Amino acid sequence: MSTSDQDQSVDTPIPAPDVDTAAEVEAETEVEAEVEAEGEAEGRRLTPRQARRLRIALSSVGMVAMAVVLGLRIASRSSVLVVGVYGLALILCGVVIELSRNGRTRLGSWLLAVGLVAAIGSDWLLIP
């Protein structure tokens, strides 16, 4: 044993914690409830990984939907314009999937929304 160990006594009592009053306990409980409510609100947001997976899933569903519509439109009237519009929509869905995989989910979301609206609008306006 060193001299510093010998200076400290082994049986030193630990001081008792301060007794809180009822008002202090109630105030602490309210603060804890507010912190839990904020934590629950933050828990509702998607993590970046969940957001990427959601965008990839939405893009995949959009790609399948565009492929089905392309097949139906070619069956009813085959046109280069039909293939062009829906082919570009399919390419756009693939680009959005790659953007989402690389962490550019907001850009991918905007491109997906604008691109699909443009494809549907051009189908309605341009293709007889």
Q: Show the 3-state SS of 35-74.
A: HHHHHHHHHCCCCHHHHHHHHHHHHHHHHHHHHHHHHHHH
Distance in angstroms (rounded) separating the CA atoms of residues 86 and 126: 12
Contacts of 79 (CB under 8 A, 6+ apart): 127
CA distance linking residue 62 with residue 40, whole number of Å: 32
pTM for this entry:
0.57
pLDDT the model gives residue 63: 87
How does pLDDT run across 52-79, given as a tens digit for each residue?
Answer: 888 889 889 988 988 898 888 888 877 7
